Structure 1
Amino acid sequence: MLTLDYDRLDVRAGTTLLDLGCGEGRHTFEAYRRGADVISLDLSAKDLATTRTWTGAMDLAGETPTGARTAPVVGDLRSLPLPDESFDRVIASEVLEHVQDDAIAIAEIARVLKPGGLAAITVPRWLPERICWALSDEYHANEGGHVRIYKASDLAALCHDAGLEHTGTGHAHALHSVYWWLKCFFGMEDTPIVRAYHRLLVWDIMKKPRTTKLLERALNPLIGKSVVLYLRKSA
């Protein structure tokens, strides 16, 4: 389940790409499949091991072009163990909302991005997130939870201050907003209606029916769970 548009980010064979806060690698996989040289960075060695397992499986299945490379790195967004101006592309998906010092993390993204390089940052969108916070403290007030609600304009301003030009905006996962509203309304409990809606989402991800694709595309500008900022570092 991808949050950003890889064509818009122009990810292709030979692109050097950094996937920040990669988790178990859902954005790493598509970049690697396209032939990019990917560094997957996360604080969790366990999640990185899962990412490594799946990229290895992709190699065995012949799903990756010859010459593409990938490597896991344990690291903190606020102090990246990586050289200046070393990546053509940087992805930071659904991670800045967990970081207290987000301005420092964004400055690190700008530091490791090459001049003229592109980045994509995704965070929970203001309206769906605000509804979740209003319905449930448990949703966000826990260790490792969300520490802020972003307005896209505020995030774009932080990026501008770090030397990243905001070139475009996208929205994604409207159907998932409804799932989280149900979870928050019922106190994060795994109730029958929540389980039923989750089965619908899994079915949608696996089958990719045209009907739900069109529905989500129509709803994304209104209630998309995530907002995507596309950025460019000045040359």
Structure 2
Amino acid sequence: MLTVDFDRLGLQPGERALDLGCGAGRHAFEMYRRGADVIAFDQDPDELSGVREMFAAMRQAGEVPVGAEADVKEGDALALPFADGEFDRIVAAEILEHVPADLALLAELVRVLRPGGTVALTVPRWFPELVCWKLSREYHDVPGGHIRIYSDAELVSKAEGAGLVYDGRHYAHALHAPYWWLKCVVGVNDDDHRLVAAYHRLLVWDIMRRPRLTRWTERALDPVLGKSLVVYLHKPEAAGRAG
């Protein structure tokens, strides 16, 4: 399930791309399929082990263009082990809401992005996220959980303050917002609840089959109920090190 529109990001084969806070690697895998030289970066070695295995499986299955490369790197997003301007494209999906020092993370992100490079930032959208917080403290008040709710204006303002230029935004995953509201009502960890399990089966079916009806429905609902906010920005050609 992709949140970022890679055509909008401008990703081209052969470009150096960073999936910052890659988690299970969904965006890194898509960048690899598109022929980028990808680094999947995270602080969780178990997640990275799975991502590395998937990269190898993709290569073995011939799912990536000749010459495309991919690797994983473990570390701290506040002290990235990369050179200034090393990456053409960066994705930071659903990470900023977890990080107390979000401004420092943005400064590091800008540092390793080349002048003229682009970035996609995704966070939970304000209204669907606020509903989750109101329904369940357990949803966010856990170790490593969400520590803030971004408005569109706050996210753009912080990114611009770090030296990026705003290019546009969209919302995604409207069908997932009610699922999380339901989980918050019955218990965030109660995945076996019959209503939660039934909704989860619907989402898996939708992701795997991508029927026209649900695609059209979600596109119509995204502007109102989209669970994720996706912001696209670029680093000015004349920019030096931000922060």
**What is residue 156 of structure 2 aligned with on the other side?**
156
SS in 2 for 1:206: helix
- Work out whether residues 22 and 40 of structure 1, in 8 Å CA contact, stay in contact via their aligned partners in 2: yes
SS in 2 for 1:97: helix
Q: For 1:230 and 1:26, locate their aligned partners in 2 and report how far apart those are by CA, in whole Å.
A: 18
**What is residue 116 of structure 1 aligned with on the other side?**
116
1:164-209 deviation per Cα after TM superposition (whole angstroms, max 9, x unaligned): 0110001100000010000001122231001000000000001010
**What is residue 221 of structure 1 aligned with on the other side?**
223
**What is residue 192 of structure 1 aligned with on the other side?**
194
**Which amino acid counterpart does residue 218 of structure 2 have in structure 1?**
E
After TM superposition, list the pairs within 5 Å mapping 1:137-156 onto structure 2: 137-156=137-156
Report the number of matched residues. 235
Shift of 1:134: 0.1
SS in 1 for 2:115: strand
Structure 2 unpaired stretches of 5+: 238-243
After TM superposition, list the pairs within 5 Å mapping 1:27-106 onto structure 2: 27-106=27-106
Structure 1 unpaired stretches of 5+: none
SS in 2 for 1:182: helix
Q: For 2:215 and 2:50, locate their aligned partners in 1 and report how far apart those are by CA, in whole Å.
A: 29
**Which amino acid counterpart does residue 214 of structure 1 have in structure 2?**
W
- Work out whether residues 174 and 220 of structure 1, in 8 Å CA contact, stay in contact via their aligned partners in 2: yes
SS in 2 for 1:41: strand
Q: For 1:63 and 1:151, locate their aligned partners in 2 and report how far apart those are by CA, in whole Å.
A: 38
Q: For 1:136 and 1:187, locate their aligned partners in 2 and report how far apart those are by CA, in whole Å.
A: 8
**What is residue 125 of structure 1 aligned with on the other side?**
125
SS in 1 for 2:145: coil
Q: For 2:27 and 2:141, locate their aligned partners in 1 and report how far apart those are by CA, in whole Å.
A: 26
**What is residue 25 of structure 1 aligned with on the other side?**
25
Is 2:234 the counterpart of 1:232? Answer: yes
**What is residue 211 of structure 2 aligned with on the other side?**
209
Q: For 1:198 and 1:123, locate their aligned partners in 2 and report how far apart those are by CA, in whole Å.
A: 21
Query: Normalised by the size of structure 2, how large is the TM-score?
Result: 0.96
Q: For 2:59 and 2:12, locate their aligned partners in 1 and report how far apart those are by CA, in whole Å.
A: 17
